[in-house]
Amino acid sequence: MATNKPQTSRQQKHLAVLIDADNAPAAIVEGLFEEIAKYGIASVKRIYGDWTQPNLGGWKKVLLDHSIQPMQQFAYTKGKNATDSSLIIDAMDLLYTRRFDGFCLVSSDSDFTRLAVRLREEGLTVYGFGEQKTPKPFVSACDKFIYTEILRADAVEPAPEPATAPVNGASQEAKPATAPVKAQKVPVDFIAKVLDDIADDEDDWVQLGAVGSNISKLSPAFDPRLYGFKKLSELIKAQPKRFELEARGSNTTGGKDLYVRNRKPGK
């Protein structure tokens, strides 16, 4: 007899969102929770910092709108950040409740590297969110790492916009902090190697979903948006000299499954 138990899809994962307010700008808040919604339900939303200090004023304005619980942490010693320890202790407490499928760690601070590793050792999925300055060890310790510049911009520019002339003699405003980041060069050689490594049939076709999964395992920070594309399929399609993309059959949702392979020499 069939049961009505929900499928364990990524949308059904229960996630704990822990934000280091000292190392994450409030400007990302909209994009942050839109992104998290792709991976699951933000069952817990906490943000850590010393709320008596004026530098967190930006976060104070958005906490109620997004139901984020502020966690007060005073600095015990001048020049030392006690927020990290508070966040880590709470993360371990939440881990041992066994109520969560994954954690979202929002910070550019490498001090959370060991925490990410520990959470993954328990079989939980770790999504990291931080600026492009985030040290590589923290990025690599996560299952998936999303650069927050993408979230602030909502898109990546293929090239910088030309400067506009002042209007009515007014001075030109400085470029806002939320401006889109410039698209990076597509790592076609890296993608091609992944395809070579996982292709197991005689014609070398690989399901696109499997390609994306293996890319994420090897490079947690890989994101098509960094290269100016919304989806991996769009990125692949834009490289016709290196890859072939083909739609086949119909999947469980009524659409077609996409397959990709390295383009053969001479074709």
Nearest to 109 by CA among 68, 69, 148: 148
pTM assigned to the model: 0.79
Cα-Cα-Cα-Cα dihedral of 220, 221, 225, 226, to 10°? -150
**Residues 146, 128 contacting (CB under 8 angstroms):** yes
Cα 22 to Cα 83: distance, rounded to the nearest angstrom: 8
Which is nearest to 219 in space by CA: 113, 106, 142?
142
Residue scoring higher pLDDT (168 or 38): 38
Q: Which CATH number fits domain 11-153: 3.30.530.20, 1.10.730.10, 1.20.210.10, 3.40.50.1010?
A: 3.40.50.1010
Task: Using alpha carbons, select from 188, 174, 164, 180 the residue that is nearest to residue 239.
Answer: 188
pLDDT band at residue 254 under the 50/70/90 scheme: low
Where in the chain are the domains?
11-153, 188-262
Q: Read off the pLDDT of residues 107-151 as tens digits, 9 standing for 90 and up.
A: 999 999 999 999 999 999 999 999 999 999 999 999 999 999 999
Position 169 scores a pLDDT of 44
Cross-strand bridge partners of residue 182: 157
Which of 207-211, 221-225, 231-235, 255-259 has the least mean pLDDT?
A: 255-259
User: What is the CATH superfamily name and number for domain 188-262?
Assistant: LOTUS domain-like (3.30.420.610)
